[in-house]
Amino acid sequence: MTTRDQTSDQISDQTPATIGVLLAGGVGRRAGVDKRFLVLEGRTLLQRNLDFLRDLFPTVVLSLAPGQELDLGDAAAGPPVEVVHDAWPGASPLAGIATVVARFGRPVFALAVDVAFPDRHAAEHVLAALPGHDVALPAIDHHHQPLFAAYAPSCLGAMREMLEADVQRIVDLLPRVRVAEVPYHDDALFHSVNTMDEYHTAIELAGPRVDRQPALVAIVGKSDSGKTTLIEKLIPQLVALGLRVGTVKHDAHSFEIDHPGKDSWRHGQAGAHAYVIASPERLAYIAKLDAELELTDIARRYFAGFDLVVGEGYKRTAPHRVEIFRRGAGYDEPLCDPGEALALVTDADLKHEHRFGLDDARGLAQFLAVRLATLERY
């Protein structure tokens, strides 16, 4: 590796890194979804890695592309995060790191948002190797991990030269600076999610899922507002983010899903309080009730192991609601009072802090994914 001299205006290369940078300017086109919102062990990759950096550094920076905004959801309630937009076009990790280093003039630790299982000890080893170098990073058989790495201000000149020449690949920086390689035998600690296959591998590596109370939200609205249509659009988007989703449809009237004369129906007629119809592909559990169950009781009792339960209806009793209000339904105002609904899905000119268009099921799914902790409280 070639070396570069530090200029007089740069701080000592012995200065410890106190700034963690989450590189989150890309949306993950190879994965087919915005990988920042993929859910692993009950939290999005975005939230997991923000929390990882918060545990290590007093200052945490979220690096985004120019003009980009990102909903932190439940993570916004934690220690403050400073958002820094790239000073160079291209939305590359190199541009993000260079921008933050130039902004603070101090060593930083950079982490890609798609690293599935960031390891504290590995980060500490990398940070310990930085003094006397421009870059410190893990190396597996000389294959480097530049998105789990520490960068000193002394590498900023080389970064600027590359970016001004539109050279965006961060590995092209390494021959220009002093590099400390931290050897590792394999890259399991640095598993990143660039494709859905890699995401499913991460799920396997995470091990058996821990059963917890599922998150719960109800889609509410006045009659003919389009609740079912919205849920039909929303479920595939939630599933694409890795969520196991269940639904509950509220019916104010009695209903019958078993057919008179069938064997299972005869079981009920004979006096069974509950019975199951089971096949290789489906299972239906039918029980007689003395009183209607609350949505929360249904979620707890029948959806253990699910990430999210989406109710349709329950407009007055659901603990968390998203309202749909459609101009063509013929109503003058929404069902919920101001502040009651977490979000509003509408084609009307109505004000709401979290407003989505009728066709923005993807945006609504991401909104819910970063609020699973909130939705689990009921």
Residue 1 lies in a domain: no
Check whether residue 200 and residue 230 sit in a common domain. no
Check whether residue 37 and residue 162 sit in a common domain. yes
Residue 41 lies in a domain: yes
Structural domain including 112 reads 19-206
Check whether residue 182 and residue 294 sit in a common domain. no
Q: How many structural domains comprise the chain?
A: 2
Q: Which of 161, 186, 206 is the last residue of a domain?
A: 206
Check whether residue 145 and residue 281 sit in a common domain. no
Check whether residue 156 and residue 249 sit in a common domain. no
The 10s digit of each residue's pLDDT in 160-193 is: 999 999 999 999 999 999 999 999 998 888 999 9
The 10s digit of each residue's pLDDT in 316-361 is: 899 999 999 999 999 999 999 888 999 999 999 999 999 999 999 9
Residue 7 lies in a domain: no
Q: How confident is the model at residue 12 (pLDDT cuts 50, 70, 90)?
A: low
Check whether residue 150 and residue 287 sit in a common domain. no
Give the pLDDT confidence score for residue 10 in this predicted structure.
47
Give the pLDDT confidence score for residue 312 in this predicted structure.
95
CA distances 111 to 121, 227, 243, Å, are 14, 40, 24
Check whether residue 186 and residue 230 sit in a common domain. no
**Mean of the pLDDT values across residues 192-212?**
90
Check whether residue 303 and residue 365 sit in a common domain. yes
Give the pLDDT confidence score for residue 4 in this predicted structure.
43
